Amino acid sequence: MRDEEPLQTREQAEEMLRPLQTPEKIPGFKWWGIELRAERQLIGTCGYCRWDKQHHRAEIGYDLWPDYWGQGLMPEALQALLRFGFEEMDLNRAEATTHTENERSQRVLAKLGFQREGILREYYCRDGIYNYQVQFSLLRSDWRARMRGKE
């Protein structure tokens, strides 16, 4: 998904997740909240959009409250998301785009084995300004090889 402004409150996250609780109304989306295990507190979201069942691919998106950045929480959540995508959704390819200046997000994707594919020029428009995005992908074969290496 495209980089959006970070969510600032639990209410914003709940509002964003509300329509996604009825997936039949938004085909091609699967989205979850991220909670801290010990606190049962919503701290972010992650999921799939643009699920193309014919071609076995979908785009991941994610956000995390800034208070929790840099703690390794998003890679942990995305590992579970990728496992679900490759094993349950039968994906062959997981895609991600991030703003060219979002180095944190690019590091998360690289840590998970995503390959940088290139720049999408003027890919989306926010507030009348066209933004560039970096395109990443992870193939099921790459993911399986990484999982075998961790055993």
Q: Residue 1: its pLDDT value, please?
A: 41
pLDDT in tens, 14-72: 676 666 656 556 677 888 889 888 877 888 899 999 999 999 999 999 999 888 999 99
- Cα maximum dimension of the chain: 48
Fold of the CATH domain 10-149: Aminopeptidase (3.40.630)
pTM: 0.82
SS3 99: strand
